[in-house]
Chain A
Amino acid sequence: MELHSRTDAYIGRYAARAAGMVPSEIRALFAVADRPEVVSLAGGMPYVSALPLDRIGEMIGELVARNGAQVLQYASAQGDPVLREQICEVMELEGIRANPDDVVVTVGAQQALDLVTKIFVDPGDVVLAEAPSYVGALGTFAAYQAEVVHVPLDDGGLIPAALRETLERLRRDGRRVKFLYTVPTFQNPAGVTLTAPRRAQILEICAEYDVLVLEDNPYGLLGFDGEPMRALRAYDSERVIYLGSFSKTIASGLRVGWALAPHSVRAKLVLAAESAVLCHANLSQLAVREYLATQPWREQIKDFRVMYRERRDAMLDALETLMPKGCTWTRPSGGFFVWLTVPEGLDTKAMAPRAIAERVAYVPGTGFYSNGDGRRHMRLSYCYPEPHRIREGVRRLAGVVEEEIRLRDTFGGVRRDDRAPGGVDTPGPGLV
């Protein structure tokens, strides 16, 4: 008797929204990147080892011993009230004046992103995002079957004229734009920051076209020069939904983020959060509350800034010294990432296996676009490896790019559009 089977017995049963949830062969390569032989410039993991881990350990222990009956219990879906007040204090550093009633605590900013998309986006709705944009957001938008329309950015962040042009075109086409998603400060993946004059312009344009703004700001306090920039939400409290996170300023493993939204939106977010998770992990929330109340968190952020600045410098110096002619890159003034552009005819996705063979990992640019663009780009992160490892990683990467240039010259700079569409090209969050 013939036996018929499939690689996945459930194929044909999945919802349409799961269609894109397929890892590419590139994602499988990242399995190698967590080995110590490989210098990973791919992951976006904050360097949590710099935290006073013993003090945090004691603090969490005492929290449970002293107040376990509350800490280990369900809580409200909106989040702990004291923590929400503290979150408002943190946001003041970026010029935001907010009421704790309008804050919803979430499982990292990623859940806030999911909830906002869930309550606003119907299948086929248009969401605007920078080109390139944060991969986690693109995954969320795809899961809700949004159509992502990218808007270009440059060294000054999102380009206002391009935004206007895009909105005008979409209006002519009768398309409904639900919101503009933007990481204005130390953008992931490009590392660029929206200039102050452009902030005002972007908000004016969005007001003109009646478009909501979803501001995602996990890196805002990790600037290397001067005071934090004013967040978009500081300019406009009605049109902007702000997403914040303690993942980079305290610890990503605690999974505490938040959304600050206009009152009516906030009410829906709370109900959506309740249906998703009932309530946030109380232990994590109260650990953050205690940390903010008892630990020198502002000084800790300063320490992070110094450390990441040193790593950024190591990466920029190494790129300057080692990368072959024709490569260009951004010069971030904060955050975790440099966006590298390789010479024409090269394909960062195609050359990723060779990089792994040379024991260096990066994220190909294609992961940061929803339309297959990005083949001439890659994201390099400097947040996790120490400076000498960063230099070694860039040295290896330069060799890979040189070899790719040689291959291009041999085969005539081919486009690889005919290759099979890849699925998800980016690593999971736990990658070193």
Chain B
Amino acid sequence: MELGHVVVLAGGLSYEREVSLRSGRRVADALRALDIPVELRDTDATLLDALATDPPDVVFPVLHGASGEDGSIRDVLELVGVPYVGARPDACRVAWDKPTAKAVVARAGLSTPESVALPKEIFHDLGAASVLDRIVEHLGLPLMVKPTRGGSALGASVVRDAEQLPAAMVGCFAYGDTALIERYVEGTEVAVSVIERGGEPYPLPAVEIVAAGGRYDYTARYDAGDTEFVIPARLSPEAAERVTAAALTAHRALGLRDLSRTDLIVTPSGEVHFLEVNVAPGMTETSLLPRAIAAAGLELSHICRDLLIQRFT
């Protein structure tokens, strides 16, 4: 089947706009290498008219952050009747909200660190100090604080000392109105991407992330250069099987489609904990999914093309 017109959607107005633009260019270049005509577009006021006037065969959304991952752009693509790569809107909404996604995968049998999700209003109403005290009392230390919705570790921080908690909360609320405060599990940080081929989810090799200074934050992800990736992750054979199984379970339980990336922590004793899942994983030159594709001996361009063809009806 020949693709005549593909739109890659990148940019948007989220905090991750810059990353998305980089991801979008990477996907567009990969497709152009196969002589597939690609139009790289931002989500702006001209988008719907353009989609109506010259409907593409398929859209490849590479939008990170809100609207790209919360299902809303995909809802609009459904409204205009254009096929697209990736999860359906309802599944995106569940995956995008970290506490909801954690609850779903927990029901499917995965372990996930104990947590509480609280909007900033509750701290205003009940008094921050007493709420934070209860959190530390209940969950202990260290804690991971991050916005319930969002990616690229923006607004996320590890709290090892209770005195750092108010600052971490303020940093988190800069990026969203609800905070997920999670028991921080020490271990090996691993990302497992899943791509669907012929309707079947296919797990890619696990990528181990070793961040210099132990923080895989925004800078470590995209700029600092000192983050090391090891593929496949240095895990026992049993743990390696468990992380792959966990990513497949998350992909299926959340009803995802085409591609996803699940972030996990593996404790020294080999326990696997689900942290979060991404429905529009980063595709930049430093991102995890393209690394996993390459490590599996596959070509990013072929994978992108195959995903498009799957949706081209």
Contacts and interface: CB of A to CB of B under 8 A. Distances in A.
B302 to A, nearest CB: 19
Nearest to B14: A32
Nearest to A2: B230
Interface stretch (B121-129, B249-257, B266-274): B121-129
A415 B167 contact: yes
A416 interface: yes
B2 interface: no
A24 B295 contact: no
B79 interface: no
Interface stretch (A119-127, A331-339, A348-356): A348-356
A6 interface: yes
Interface string B231-266: 110100000000000000000000000000000000
Contacts of A275: none
Interface string B1-41: 00000000000011111110100000000000000000000
Given A28-B18, A407-B173, A10 B225 contact: yes
A410 B121 CA distance: 10
Contacts of B219: 22-25, 420, 422-423
B44 A35 contact: yes
A25 B230 CA distance: 25
Contacts of B232: 2
Contact of B17 (A7, A32, A352, A415): A32
A5 interface: yes
Given A353-B155, A410-B120, A7 B225 contact: yes
A28 B166 contact: no
Contacts of B228: 4-6
B166 A411 contact: yes
Interface string A317-339: 00000000000000000000000
B21 A31 contact: yes
A37 interface: yes
B220 interface: yes
A29 B152 CA distance: 12
Nearest to A37: B13
Contact of A25 (B154, B169, B229, B295): B154
Nearest to B66: A357
Given A2-B231, A418-B167, A31 B222 contact: no
Interface in A376-432: 406-408, 410-412, 414-416, 418-420, 422-423
Given A31-B21, A412-B129, A419-B157, A7 B174 contact: no
Contacts of B226: 6-8, 11
Contacts of B15: 28-29, 32, 353, 356-357
A353 B17 contact: no
A10 B173 CA distance: 35
A411 B154 contact: no
A23 B223 CA distance: 7
A4 B223 contact: no
Nearest to B169: A411
A411 B221 contact: no
B312 interface: no
A31 B17 contact: yes
Contacts of B16: 28
A41 B47 CA distance: 27
A414 to B, nearest CB: 4
Given A350-B171, A418-B164, A31 B128 contact: no
B217 A420 contact: yes
Contact of B174 (A6, A31, A354, A412): A354
B218 interface: yes
Nearest to B295: A3
Given A35-B13, A411-B166, A419-B167, A351 B174 contact: yes
B224 interface: yes
19 contacts: A2-B230, A4-B230, A5-B229, A6-B225, A6-B226, A7-B220, A7-B222, A11-B225, A28-B222, A31-B21, A32-B15, A350-B170, A350-B171, A350-B174, A352-B174, A353-B155, A410-B128, A412-B129, A415-B167
The 3 closest A-B pairs by CB, nearest first: A8-B225, A31-B18, A25-B218
Given A28-B218, A414-B170, A416-B167, 15 more contacts: A2-B234, A3-B231, A6-B229, A7-B229, A8-B226, A22-B224, A25-B219, A28-B18, A32-B15, A38-B13, A354-B174, A410-B128, A411-B170, A415-B167, A418-B167
